Amino acid sequence: MTTEHSLDSQEQTGHTRRRFLTATGGAALALGTVGSAYAAASAGKRVAVLGGGVAGLSAAHELAERGYAVTVYEYYDALGGKARSMPVPGTGAGGRADLPGEHGFRFFPGFYRNLPDTLRRIPFPGNAGGVHDNLVSGTEALFARAGGRPDLHFPLRRATTPPAPGTLTPSWIRDQLLSVLDLGTRLPAHEIAYFVDRLLVHITSCDARREDEWEKTPWWDFIRAEEMSPEYRTLLGIGQTRNLVATRAEVASTRTVGRVIIEALLLWGLLGRGMDGDADIDRVLNAPTSEAWIDPWERHLRSLGVEFVLGTRVHEVLYEGGRVTGVRVSAREGGQDRTVTADHYVSALPVEHARVTWGPALRAADPQFARCDALKTDWMTGVMFYLGTPTPVVHGHVNCLDSPWAVTAVGQAQFWDGRDFARDYGDGRARDCLSAIISEWDKPGILYGKPARECTREEVVAELWAQLKDALNDSGKTTLTDADRLGWFMDPAVTGLGGPDPQNREQLMIHPTGTFYNRPTARTKVPNFFLAGDYVRTDIDLASMEGANEAARTAVNALLEADNSDAERCMIVGLYRPPELEPLKRIDEARYRLGLPNTFDLG
């Protein structure tokens, strides 16, 4: 292995189909009798899917099961997009595989419902539940503090005795939250009480208030962070936004933060409601992502007849006479342009790459294409550190709350039960890998005093390592040592660091206020053109693998409608809505229409 060189309740929407695929003997049943009927109905219908990330592969999966002839065009020479893992070239020796690298660690919250359904339908040897059985639970999160301040270990097991139906009242929720925050933080009692009351406002707000008032309100303002202590701002403002969804708390949409992070992930997740079976809050894969998920997915899709054209750059979606007539593509590394054609087209590229393929004629056909120009993306990129000693920092994820670069991390090898890291990867010296992500690239660091974008690749790595040590090597313990660090890897999609024009081809869509209004629908006004991707409007409203999968299902349903297909529609599961709170939301809807604040909103 090289060292220090840049290696370089409620399932509410979309239960419109019965499951015609069932899990039997560890494999998703192939098309079968019903599937054959769909295949006959769809025979000869060709679909071009642009992009081979989670959205594109999800769309291809659903379409292939319904008998469509699907071709996926992917920019890279491998599938999976930001979700894939990638070998670190030249690091394997003695019959071992190259060290595993990645864009950033994978996280499968228990409230994901659509993506897990897809995982169950991907066969995996020895697994009755397919790839889904490769998910394992983290048991706690570590909120690591710098400067000797005590760390917070937060258990992530769902409640074994959740509140009985009908007992989930605002007063019960308030008491539980007050107790947790009082025990887990050193915040003043009045600040804890105020924050809990703000959460009660959000969870009892009607949809109209959320989509209007709270979508326009930054999370920072909603919780009055500016008026509170620095500790309050760090724990409940920055720590819930920049570190988790790469959006600054000062501009993050309250609707998105409140619905997804506070409610779905934490509140209902801890109570075990709206979860994927008996899942816990935090889940990761039991091997590198491509081994555990992407490679088996590719094999399964090929068995369904899906074709893949890799190393392909999409230049323009061609539009004429009210329809898409083809897509102009070329080999990624150059070569002559060519036009590929199909009956239907699904654009599953990330928004920053998709919108540059929409020419003036196509944009004129549907105003929502232009609105996508307002969607924002930012950098959220990871570094893998390869360590000579097993270093399981915590059995789950780490959030370095005081790090200026909003660093999060996870020790991965501890979850790979079927792997011996030193035996299976690299040259035998590395025994663990710590995957860390930088979410804030525009604030000065502690080592060089420069933002990450202005640092060289080596300076970024050194600065990130220093911030990890600052968070983990305090209170009399030494978790990370320089001597133990054998090497590192950063996604090669990040280029030009240290130069005048640093670039990141794999950015993440972020969620400042007003984002909801600019998200497009999967169905467009062009009858044979559909959008899939984590920027498309879905119930989860979060740039995530779940959002990409849900968008793909929505796009496929729209395509089936446009094709007058009798194939059963993709199941789509929305975020959980506690039935006990629905009466309060109806009251709030009446108050909202009258111009009155929420009942619990005392200002």
Regarding whether 494 and 385 lie in a shared domain, the answer is yes
Q: What is the pLDDT of residue 271?
A: 87
Residue 443 pLDDT class (50, 70, 90 cuts): very high
pTM for the whole structure: 0.92
Regarding whether 469 and 390 lie in a shared domain, the answer is yes
Q: What is the pLDDT of residue 249?
A: 86
Q: Which two tokens stand for residue 397?
A: 């994820």
The model's pLDDT over 171-188, given as tens digits with 9 standing for 90+, comes to: 988 988 898 888 778 899
Regarding whether 130 and 40 lie in a shared domain, the answer is no
Q: What is the pLDDT of residue 32?
A: 35
Residues 6+ apart with CB under 8 A from 329: 73, 312, 313, 314, 315, 337, 338, 339, 340
Residue 12, in any domain of the structure: no
Q: What are phi and psi of 141, to 5 degrees?
A: -110, 145
Q: What is the pLDDT of residue 13?
A: 35
Q: Which two tokens stand for residue 190?
A: 């009045």
Residue 13, in any domain of the structure: no
Residues 6+ apart with CB under 8 A from 393: 142, 409, 411, 434, 472, 479
Q: What is the pLDDT of residue 41?
A: 55
**Residue 446 clears pLDDT 90, i.e. is over it:** yes
Residue 149, in any domain of the structure: no
Q: What is the pLDDT of residue 602?
A: 87
**Residue 432 clears pLDDT 80, i.e. is over it:** yes
Residue 570, in any domain of the structure: no
Q: What is the pLDDT of residue 523?
A: 98
Residue 408, in any domain of the structure: yes
Q: What is the pLDDT of residue 153?
A: 85
How far apart CA 314 and CA 332 sit, in angstroms, is: 9
The model's pLDDT over 252-309, given as tens digits with 9 standing for 90+, comes to: 999 999 999 899 988 998 888 899 998 888 999 999 999 999 999 999 999 999 999 9
How far apart CA 64 and CA 66 sit, in angstroms, is: 5
The more confidently predicted of residues 32 and 482 is 482
How far apart CA 61 and CA 55 sit, in angstroms, is: 10
**Residue 7 clears pLDDT 70, i.e. is over it:** no
| pLDDT (average), residues 11-20 | 34
Regarding whether 410 and 389 lie in a shared domain, the answer is yes
Regarding whether 460 and 528 lie in a shared domain, the answer is no
Q: What is the pLDDT of residue 239?
A: 82
| pLDDT (average), residues 128-143 | 95
Regarding whether 96 and 71 lie in a shared domain, the answer is no
Residue 10 pLDDT class (50, 70, 90 cuts): very low
Looking at 34-43, 150-159, 468-477, which range is the least confident one?
A: 34-43
H or E stretch covering 62: helix 54-65
Residue 297, in any domain of the structure: no
Q: What is the pLDDT of residue 43?
A: 61
Give the closest residue to 262 by CA, choosing from 160, 337, 180: 180
**Secondary structure letter of residue 409 according to DSSP:** E
Q: What is the pLDDT of residue 163?
A: 72
Range of the domain at 353: 33-77+310-375+519-562
**Residue 483 clears pLDDT 70, i.e. is over it:** yes
How far apart CA 582 and CA 447 sit, in angstroms, is: 50
Looking at 7-16, 150-159, 322-331, 513-522, which range is the least confident one?
A: 7-16
CA 42 to chain centre: 32
**Residue 22 clears pLDDT 50, i.e. is over it:** no
The model's pLDDT over 319-354, given as tens digits with 9 standing for 90+, comes to: 999 999 999 999 998 889 999 999 999 999 999 999
Residue 30 pLDDT class (50, 70, 90 cuts): very low
Regarding whether 90 and 39 lie in a shared domain, the answer is no
Strands (E), 478-597: 485-490, 494-495, 503-504, 508-509, 529-531
Q: What is the pLDDT of residue 6?
A: 32
**Residue 74 clears pLDDT 50, i.e. is over it:** yes
| pLDDT (average), residues 459-474 | 95
| pLDDT (average), residues 188-200 | 95
Regarding whether 433 and 349 lie in a shared domain, the answer is no
Mean pLDDT for the chain? 90
Residue 178, in any domain of the structure: yes
Mind giving me the DSSP string for 124-146?
A: -TT-TTGGGGGEEEE-EEEEE-S
How far apart CA 222 and CA 124 sit, in angstroms, is: 45
Three-state SS letters, 510-536: CCECCHHHHCCCCECCCCCEEECCCCC
Residue 339 sits in a domain whose CATH number is: 3.50.50.60
**Residue 12 clears pLDDT 70, i.e. is over it:** no
Residue 21, in any domain of the structure: no
Q: Three-state SS for 37?
A: helix
Q: Three-state SS for 499?
A: coil
The more confidently predicted of residues 548 and 241 is 548
Number of domains in the chain: 3
**CB-CB contact of 237 with 223 (8 Å):** yes
How far apart CA 307 and CA 301 sit, in angstroms, is: 8
Residue 475 pLDDT class (50, 70, 90 cuts): low
For 152, other C-beta atoms within 10 Å of its C-beta total 18
Regarding whether 402 and 329 lie in a shared domain, the answer is no
Regarding whether 398 and 341 lie in a shared domain, the answer is no
Residue 576 pLDDT class (50, 70, 90 cuts): very high
Looking at 147-161, 167-181, 290-304, 542-556, which range is the least confident one?
A: 147-161
Regarding whether 496 and 397 lie in a shared domain, the answer is yes
Looking at 201-210, 329-338, 545-554, 567-576, which range is the least confident one?
A: 329-338
**Residue 25 clears pLDDT 70, i.e. is over it:** no
The model's pLDDT over 384-428, given as tens digits with 9 standing for 90+, comes to: 999 999 998 999 999 999 999 999 999 999 999 989 999 999 999
H or E stretch covering 318: strand 312-320
The model's pLDDT over 487-497, given as tens digits with 9 standing for 90+, comes to: 999 999 999 99
The more confidently predicted of residues 65 and 167 is 65
Regarding whether 474 and 413 lie in a shared domain, the answer is yes
**Residue 164 clears pLDDT 80, i.e. is over it:** no
